[in-house]
Amino acid sequence: MAVAMALVGVLAACSPMSIFSRTADEEPLVPADQLYASAVTNMENNRYIAAIEDLETLERQNPFSDVNERAKVMQVFANFRLARYAETVRQADQFLALYPRSSEVPYILFLKGSANFEQITDITRDQELAQDTIETFTQLQSNYPDSRYAQESRQMLLIARDQVAGKEMSVGRYYLGNGQYTAAINRFRVVVEDHQTSTHVEEALFRLTEAYLTLGLVGEAQTATAVLGTNYPNSEWYQRGFNLLQNQGLSPQMMTGNWMADQ
């Protein structure tokens, strides 16, 4: 009889009402449309943290909802507005992996590139973020050239490229000052060949003149200054290169077959 009563107690504890009822600390299920509408309202009122919370709940509770693509776009934007740049990039990469054919891809690439751009530091630091900015905006402009976001990213792309070129110049000057002329030439050559739109090309060509002359590579030095004079005839750097050659009885001269002749 005692065993029977105990069994009845167990069954009572496992009644359907007990099995399927929610405990107080469980997350209540909210319809996807309701969460999305709440997120939109929060976004419109600049309550980005609240919006993100709505969108994360939506994603968690309704992983197959039709509004998830739009919700993901909102998450990327909200994190960007909160200056959570690393999270913006992470969310953007998730979106691009989930929705590679979405019409929102240009906008997501723009937000991702902008988030990387906002994290760029001075030229004394590693330039990985500048490189990431360049790669993202180059992808945007190559794949979506007619997009308004391609146009809006142009100035940031130029600045990012200038930043990377500035880093190359900084390292090149260091090598030049320490007598590591070949290493310096390699850095300045990268600027001339890969960063032709940067503000550092003029100085890079002059520094090449310096380094080549020091190594006795007269033809290369003359060519560097000739290229400088052709492209930047009024540049202070051209005048300095011209004077440097003149002091050694030389003049700018384009040597055929030299890599710089095509610049």
Which of these CATH numbers, 3.40.630.30, 3.20.20.60, 1.10.238.10, 1.25.40.10, describes 165-262? 1.25.40.10
Q: Reduced to 3 DSSP states, what percent helix, strand and coil does the chain have, rounded to the nearest 5?
A: 70, 0, 30
pLDDT at 121: 75
pLDDT at 3: 38
Banded model confidence at residue 16, pLDDT cuts 50, 70, 90:
very low
250 burial type by CB count under 10 A (0-12 exposed, 13-18 middle, 19+ buried): middle
pLDDT tens-digit series, residues 48-100 = 999 999 999 999 998 888 899 999 999 999 999 999 999 999 999 999 999 99
Q: What is the Cα 70 distance to its own chain's centre?
A: 23
Contact 176, 207 (CB under 8 A): yes
Give me the mean pLDDT over the 100-121 stretch.
95
pLDDT at 7: 33
Burial 51-85 (b: 16+ CB within 10 A, else e): bbbbbebbbeebeebebbebbbbbbbbbbbeeebb
Measured on CA atoms in the order 78, 81, 84, 90, is the torsion positive or negative? positive
pLDDT at 11: 34
Is the pLDDT at 133 greater than 90? The verdict is yes
Contact 154, 141 (CB under 8 A): yes
Same fold, 30-160 and 165-262: yes
What proportion of the chain, given as a percentage, has pLDDT over 70?
87
Q: What is the Cα 195 distance to its own chain's centre?
A: 17
CA distance 238 to 227: 9
The ranges assigned to domains in the chain are: 30-160, 165-262
CA distance 216 to 238: 20
pLDDT at 28: 82
SS3 90: helix
pTM of the model: 0.77
For 120, phi then psi, to 5°, come to -65, 135
Give me the mean pLDDT over the 128-134 stretch.
92
Give me the mean pLDDT over the 228-250 stretch.
95
Superfamily name with CATH number, domain 30-160: Tetratricopeptide repeat domain (1.25.40.10)
CA distance 139 to 156: 14
CA distance 168 to 185: 11
pLDDT tens-digit series, residues 169-190 = 999 999 999 999 999 999 999 9
